[in-house]
């Protein structure tokens, strides 16, 4: 069993780290009271779970003081575990709290800096027990995930961790709820009004040739692909792991399907991991 305890300074990236482990197939628990760690570990030992990640931090209040005792219990009972401690500089943490406008768990009427320094003092002993300490002061979310991947998942997978899902759809059936970006291609020439093409779809070469013969189509594709090529690295910088691009026409049979296929071919050529789903092609 792989049991990872995530802890550290508030605002240092524990939520991002837990989300990374969850996306990597770990069973994850956030803000687990330290008093329950030993019972939870024993429960996991007698289950089919073999990869577990939990977050215990200062949010546990008075319960947090029991964490050292429970870690000693894990060691005494030879329960394999690893402590991952996330930290950041005082300045970086203050800036993050200013940006998010969230309250520090130890902040009452004093300054956030005082709360950060008090938390650092209370976590000093725990930091000394950590198997891995990651300082997130000057790294992006993307860089943090890359380091976690190298340290815990293995392999040399680098920047191409973003999975892109392209969805073609018909506006008359509604916009996909999970779309990050929605593009409307109803301005392109409509094969539906050509009798020989009406019963075909955007997968058929005849429909593709009809759509591509118009100069506006090529102009649009050039600008559209350039925009997508620009956006993807920006999403990656923010640590996004899944991107959904929806392309719609009236019925979801012709123009959106053909455009989705063209976009997939383009992104495939750029080395991205791409899937395509024609949601309404059979309606």
pLDDT, tens digit (0-9, with 9 covering 90-100), for 130-189: 899 999 998 888 788 888 988 888 754 544 568 899 999 999 999 998 899 999 999 999
Query: Which pLDDT does position 17 carry in this prediction?
Result: 94
Decide if 21 contacts 47 (C-beta within 8 A).
Answer: no
Query: Which pLDDT does position 159 carry in this prediction?
Result: 43
- Checking if the pLDDT of 109 tops 80, the result is no
Q: For residue 182, give the H/E element and its range.
A: strand 181-184
Decide if 52 contacts 4 (C-beta within 8 A).
Answer: yes
**pLDDT tens digits, 69-94:** 777 777 777 777 889 999 999 999 98
CATH level 3 topology of 2-153: Rossmann fold (3.40.50)
The residue count for the chain: 283
Please give the DSSP secondary-structure letter assigned to residue 89: -
Mean pLDDT over the full length of the chain: 88
How would you class 25 by CB atoms within 10 Å of its CB: exposed for 0-12, middle for 13-18, buried for 19 or more?
exposed
From-to residues of CATH 3.40.50.300 in the chain: 2-153
- Checking if the pLDDT of 9 tops 80, the result is yes
Query: Which pLDDT does position 63 carry in this prediction?
Result: 59
How far CA 36 is from CA of 17, 81, 100, in Å, comes to 21, 15, 30
Distance CA 3, CA 83 (A): 9
How would you class 211 by CB atoms within 10 Å of its CB: exposed for 0-12, middle for 13-18, buried for 19 or more?
buried
């Amino acid at each position: 069993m792989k049991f990872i305890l995530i802890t550290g300074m508030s605002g240092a990236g524990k939520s991002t780290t837990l989300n990374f482990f969850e996306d990597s197939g770990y069973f994850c628990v956030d803000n687990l009271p330290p008093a329950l760690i030993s019972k939870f570990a024993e429960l996991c030992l007698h289950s089919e779970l073999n990869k577990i990640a939990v977050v215990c931090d200062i949010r546990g209040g008075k319960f947090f003081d029991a964490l050292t005792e429970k870690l000693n219990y894990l060691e005494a009972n030879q329960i394999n575990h690893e402590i991952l401690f996330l930290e950041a500089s005082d300045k970086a943490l203050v800036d993050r709290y200013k940006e998010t406008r969230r309250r520090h768990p130890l902040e009452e009427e004093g300054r956030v800096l005082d709360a950060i320094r008090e938390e650092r003092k209370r976590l000093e002993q725990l930091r000394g027990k950590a198997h891995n300490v990651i300082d997130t002061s000057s790294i992006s979310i993307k860089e943090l995930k890359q380091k976690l991947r190298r340290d815990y998942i293995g392999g040399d997978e680098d920047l191409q961790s973003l999975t892109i899902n392209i969805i073609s759809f018909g506006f008359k059936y509604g916009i996909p709820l999970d779309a990050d970006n929605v593009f409307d291609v109803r301005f392109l020439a409509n094969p539906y009004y050509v009798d020989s093409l009406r019963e075909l779809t955007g997968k058929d070469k005849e429909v593709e040739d009809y759509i591509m013969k118009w100069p506006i189509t090529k102009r649009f594709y050039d600008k559209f692909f350039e925009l997508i090529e620009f956006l993807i690295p920006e999403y990656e910088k923010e640590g996004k792991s899944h991107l959904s691009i929806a392309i719609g026409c009236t019925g979801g049979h012709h123009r959106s399907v053909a455009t989705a296929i063209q976009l997939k071919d383009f992104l495939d050529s750029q080395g991205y991991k791409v899937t395509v789903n024609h949601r309404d092609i059979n309606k």
